[in-house]
Amino acid sequence: MSDDTARFTNMANAIRALSMDAVQAANSGHPGMPMGMADVATVLWNDYLKFDPKAPDWADRDRFVLSAGHGSMLIYSLLHLSGYEQPTLEDIRNFRQLGSPCAGHPENFLLPGVEATTGPLGQGLAMAVGMAMAERHLNSQFGDELVDHRTWVVAGDGCLMEGINHEAIGIAGHLKLGRLIVLWDDNDITIDGKVSLSSSEDIPARYRATGWHVAECDGHDPASIRKAIDEAVAETGKPSLVRCTTIIGKGAPNKQGTSATHGAPLGEDEIAAARKELGWDHGPFEVPDDIRANWLATGTRGATARAEWQERLDASKQKAEFTRRMAGDLPSGDKAARAFAKWLESAEKVATRKASENALEILNPLVPEMVGGSADLTGSNNTKAGGITAFTADDYSGRYVYYGIREFGMSAAMNGMALHGGIIPYGGTFLIFTDYARGAIRLSALQEARVVYVMTHDSIGLGEDGPTHQPIEHLQSLRAMPNVLVMRPADRVETAECWQIAIAQKDRPSVIALSRQGLPQVRNSPDEGMLSEKGGYRLKRAGNKRRVILIATGSEVSLALECAEQLEKQGVGADVVSMVCTELFDEQDAAYKEDVLPNVGPEEILRVSIEAGTTFGWERYTMANGLNFGIDRFGASAPASDLFKKFGLTADQIVPKIISKLND
């Protein structure tokens, strides 16, 4: 064996040894994939990947996404061996244990160098599409001098089976993202056994059909791996899939090539046999100094590249703007606030989806990092505004993406853009179709990604499209998701406030739920300030002695005002609270919440919620003896006004029930 071959083999075997040792110590995990892809990863890290362990957040680094996140020990081994500050060897010893950053699946918020939280298969690849889009867009803005990197993905058979894979590769192929390279771990094994148990697709043909370049290699032959990657790198006009034929659990003589290595420890006997098979004469978690030195050397190429890049950045006239965008800071100035303040000078009845478009007319020219889009509902979501043009394969400088009917793919791509940095992505569809996008919305929240979901047609108010399109449980189900701002504005003023709040969130996504039907303007006092930032606020104070607090959102706020007017005429004092965002309201201090929703017995003040969706969960604000008006069944197909009457959401139907409750 030549010195170069021995060096490479030992480096790859270090990954295998750390992976099987960590999984065995945890008695939990997936050793097979990292052992099978160790050779491919060693070639990538040693010869191609642009990174600097001393600067994990370097803006022009290559992005590496382990889409097959169950094989997390692959990336933990790579980060540790190549010189990242974390994970330490102790972290790896505590793989999957409480407090260790080496979680069961890679988490972007635990370890620098982990670009995206992966685990739900296919989403890593889909987020990588967004990263590649971000790279091309920022390149068009700042040039090769500041933005010139690739996005690499390791994906398994499961990633390629998931439905989101089809959406993601369709977007990438259409946009000709030539700097996106997917390394497919083609080991022909799933947890159940051979892939042939469940699939007989011609995957390379499918990728070619969507506009991808496909290369193939023996995933255990360094020369073959390099040849295939070189071919992918040379193909600048198409994204590339590199089919790496591998043996899962490579090195475990009795279990390699079988599902036994997929999702369980190898066992002490098999690990001992693997050490013998691999010629690895070192104890658990031991990496000899010479092998560690070879791994540490992989980062020197990147350190040089980063230093040269820093010189270019320091000399660039665009340094301040580039640095601002990558830091996620909004442009300075109050032009947007002053423009929106003028909306308070006059009242206008408008659908909040239209108000959103009007807000974007102001924001998009002022915030150049905003990149919008829609899942084939541009004319309904009103998301193309402010003079932005299309992002296409011919013009990556555009700021509007036509995603097609791909709600899940769109949402995952936006996650990738946000994680890449330098872009604030927003995208639209109907609120009902959060069902398609939910997995990606959840990862937005988990990854603390600044993504804005523009969800229109937010209730039965959309009318004739009927039950399939009318969201019922969706607002509350999204509110149940941690770290998401769910905002439902009542008029154009609140809509503008919601947009300003959303783009200011550096560490969480926002859902802005917008109406199809026109809504009256309920705010017109110029001295009120941005009331929506409190989440919920008193829109109307009781005239008579307060006996009722009406809590409403969105299109039902004006209905609550109608109810309050009728109650006041009957001598019943009623506050109206616009609950724009329950999450923000819950974050306020106790004194503020006590002022808006006094903590007194229900016999003194009756709390009433009004929302054209499920009543589930509203009792947390109305208390057990409050009243909750909503819809606890599916909708119907009819004009909006008829539907609100059918479901009892009119003042004439609500007020008598409130009076009856007060008189009980």
Beta strands across the sheet bearing 606-610 = 536-540, 573-579, 546-552, 606-610, 627-629
Instruction: Report the distance separating Cα 234 and Cα 40, nearest Å.
Output: 18
Using left for φ > 0, alpha for ψ between -120 and 50, and beta otherwise, residue 244 falls in: beta
In the Cβ-directed half-sphere of 209, how many Cα atoms lie within 13 Å? 7
Instruction: Report the distance separating Cα 384 and Cα 70, nearest Å.
Output: 38
**Which of 200, 120, 209, 202 lies closest to 172 in space, CA to CA?**
209
| Helix residue ranges, H only, 367-406 | 378-381
E strands within 212-304? 213-218, 240-245
**Which of 345, 420, 358, 415 lies closest to 384 in space, CA to CA?**
358
Instruction: Report the distance separating Cα 350 and Cα 386, nearest Å.
Output: 18
Angle, helices 72-82 vs 3-26, to 10°: value is: 120
Instruction: Report the distance separating Cα 626 and Cα 603, nearest Å.
Output: 10
Tally the residues of the chain. Answer: 664
Reply yes or no on whether 216 is catalytic. Answer: no
At 398, list the tokens.
């555009």
**Which of 465, 419, 441, 417 lies closest to 513 in space, CA to CA?**
441
Report the sign of the C-alpha dihedral through residues 195, 197, 199, 201, in that order: positive
Determine the longest span between alpha carbons in the chain, in angstroms: 95
At 363, list the tokens.
């924001």
DSSP letter (8 states) at residue 68: S
At 458, list the tokens.
């937010």
At 22, list the tokens.
């960590």
Instruction: Report the distance separating Cα 610 and Cα 627, nearest Å.
Output: 9
DSSP characters over 139-197: HHHH-TTT----EEEEEEHHHHHSHHHHHHHHHHHHHT-TTEEEEEEE--EETTEEGGG
**Which of 112, 128, 122 lies closest to 179 in space, CA to CA?**
128
Three-state SS string over 55-106 comes to CCCCCCCCEEEECCHHHHHHHHHHHHHHCCCCCCHHHHHCCCCCCCCCCCCC
| 357, 407, 494, 611: the active-site residue | 407
DSSP-derived 3-state class of residue 365: helix
The residue with tokens 């299109």 is 555
Q: Residue 272: how many CB atoms within 10 A of its CB? A: 11
Q: What is the separation, in whole angstroms, between the first and last Cα of the chain?
A: 91
> How would you label 159-186 residue by residue, b for 16+ Cβ within 10 Å and e otherwise?
bbbbebbbbbbbbbbebbbbbbbbbbbb
Contact between 432 and 470 (Cβ < 8 Å): yes
**Catalytic center residues:** 407
